[in-house]
Structure 1
Amino acid sequence: MNDNRIASFDIAKTIALFGVLLGHTLFLGVPQSIVDFFYSFDMPLFFIVSGYFCKRESLSRSFVFKNARGLLIPYIFTSIVIIICMTCRAFFVSDDPAKTAIGWTVAALYGSGDYLPGMPTGVIAIGAIWYLLALFWGKLLLVAANESKYPFLIVLALFVVGVSTADKVWLPLSIQPALCATLFIFVGQVIREAGLLKPGSIHPLIWFCMLMTWLYCGAFFGQLYMVRNLYAHGAMDVIDGCLRILVCHSFRRDCIASDTYCRQAA
Structure 2
Amino acid sequence: MSKNRIASFEAGRLLALLGVIAIHSQLFMTAPLINDQPWLGLLINQLSRFAVPLFFIMAGYFIAPKLVTAPKDTIKQYSLPLLKVWLVWSVIIFLVPFNLQLAWESGYLAERSGYWQYLLSQPLNTLFEGSLVHLWYIPGLICGLLIIAFCCHTKKLNLLLPVAITLYLFGLAAGSYAPLTGIESPLFTRNGPFMSTLMLTIGFLIRQQSWQLSVGKAFMLALMGMGMHLAEAAFLIRFDVPFNMHDFLTGTPLWATGIFFMLKQRPQFGKAIVSLNISKHVLGIYLVHLLIIIYLMHLLPMLGFTGYANDILRFVLTCIISYGLVVLIDKTPLRNWLLR
Shift of 1:18: 0.7
1:84 CA drift (Å): 2.5
- Normalising by structure 1, we get a TM-score of 0.71
Cα RMSD over matched residues?
A: 3.8
The answer (yes or no) to whether the contact 1:64–1:140 under 8 Å persists in 2 is yes
Query: Which residue number corresponds to residue 67 of structure 1?
Result: 78
Distance 2:99 2:42 in 1: 34
Amino acid of the structure 2 residue aligned with 1:128:
H
Match of 2:112 in 1: 100
Letter in 1 for 2:14: T
Unaligned runs of 5+ in 1: 114-118, 257-266
* Alignment correspondent of 2:295: none
1:31-50 matches, within 5 Å, as 31-39=41-49, 41-50=50-59
Matched, 1:170 2:180: no
In the TM superposition, residue 181 of structure 1 has moved relative to its aligned partner by: 0.7
* Paired residue type of 1:156: I
The answer (yes or no) to whether the contact 1:231–1:237 under 8 Å persists in 2 is yes
Give the equivalent residue in structure 1 for 2:217. 206
Q: Distance in 1 between matches of 2:60 and 2:263?
A: 16
Match of 1:6 in 2: 6
Corresponding position: 1:159 with 2:168? yes
Q: Could you tell me which amino acid in structure 2 is paired with residue 92 of structure 1?
A: W
Residue 129, structure 1, aligned to residue 144, structure 2: no
Which residue identity lines up with residue 107 of structure 1 in the other structure?
L
TM-score (norm 2): 0.57
Q: 1:205 to 1:238 in 2, by over 3 A?
A: closer
Residue 128 of structure 1: SS of its match in structure 2? helix
Structure 1 residue 78 displacement after superposition:
0.5
Instruction: Note the alpha carbon deviations across 1:66-122, whole angstroms, 9 max, x for none.
Output: 233222111111012112312783522525517726844983994748xxxxx9xxx
Deviations 1:1-58 (A, max 9, x none): 211111111111111111111112244535311221112x111111101101123346
2: CA distance between counterparts of 1:239 and 1:211? 6
Identity of aligned residues (%): 19
Is 1:239 the equivalent of 2:254?
Answer: yes
Equivalents in 1 of 2:159, 2:11: separation in Å?
Answer: 33
- Residue 126 of structure 1 and its aligned partner are, at CA, apart by 2.1
Q: How many residues align?
A: 237
Greater percentage in helix: 2
Superposed CA offset, 1:190-210 (max 9, x none): 1122334xxxx5345434533
1:227-266 map, 5 Å: 231-232=248-249, 234=250, 236-252=251-267
Counterpart-to-counterpart distance in 2, 1:8 and 1:231: 24
1-structure distance, mates of 2:232, 2:56: 20
Letter of the 1:142 counterpart: I
Is 1:16–1:46's contact at 8 Å kept on the other side of the alignment? yes
Deviation at 1:125? 6.2
